[in-house]
Amino acid sequence: MNIHQDFGVTAGKLAAVLDKLRRLSIVPALIEESFSRGGGKGGQKINKSANRVQLFYPPLGLAVSCQASRSLALNRFLSLRELAEQAEMKLSPGTSPRLAEWRRIQKRKARSRSRQRLKAAAGNA
């Protein structure tokens, strides 16, 4: 993957993602990139342009695809950022903010289920 092309984002955002990749020891040259036509709403633009980006990083077995935007350059950046997030969750779960947020939500849902069971048990008694 060529990371020196224009991604259509600010230099700071790109630098943050590249820094995260560097910290995780991910070699950008090993990232395989492919493009295809997206699906869903969008009409002629979606049907005629290959703006869906798929990234694959073989050493970790990570695969990511993105078609959030009409812009190919922006989709490349978003998929690279998602790949960095998934790699961080796999390699360094203690420092992953996304994994911490997921755990916080799971804990909140478990408390809610517990309260519901107590209410149901009190109502049946």
**Each residue of 91-104: pLDDT tens digit?**
887 777 888 888 89
- The CA dihedral of 88, 93, 96, 100, to the nearest 10 degrees, is 150
Q: For the domain 1-92, what is the CATH code?
A: 3.30.160.20
- C-beta of residue 45 within 8 angstroms of C-beta of residue 75: no
d(CA 26, CA 28): 6
35: nearest Cα among 21, 54, 19: 54
- C-beta of residue 21 within 8 angstroms of C-beta of residue 55: no
The pLDDT value given to residue 56: 96
Higher pLDDT, 3 or 65: 65
Q: How confident is the model at residue 71 (pLDDT cuts 50, 70, 90)?
A: confident
Q: What is the pLDDT of residues 11-59, one digit of tens each?
A: 899 899 999 999 999 998 999 999 998 777 767 777 778 889 999 999 9
The mean per-residue pLDDT over the stretch 68-83 comes to 90
Ranges of each domain in the chain: 1-92, 93-125
Buried b vs exposed e over 48-64: b needs ≥16 C-beta within 10 Å? Answer: eeebbbbbbbeeeebeb
Q: How confident is the model at residue 70 (pLDDT cuts 50, 70, 90)?
A: confident
Res 64 pLDDT > 90: yes
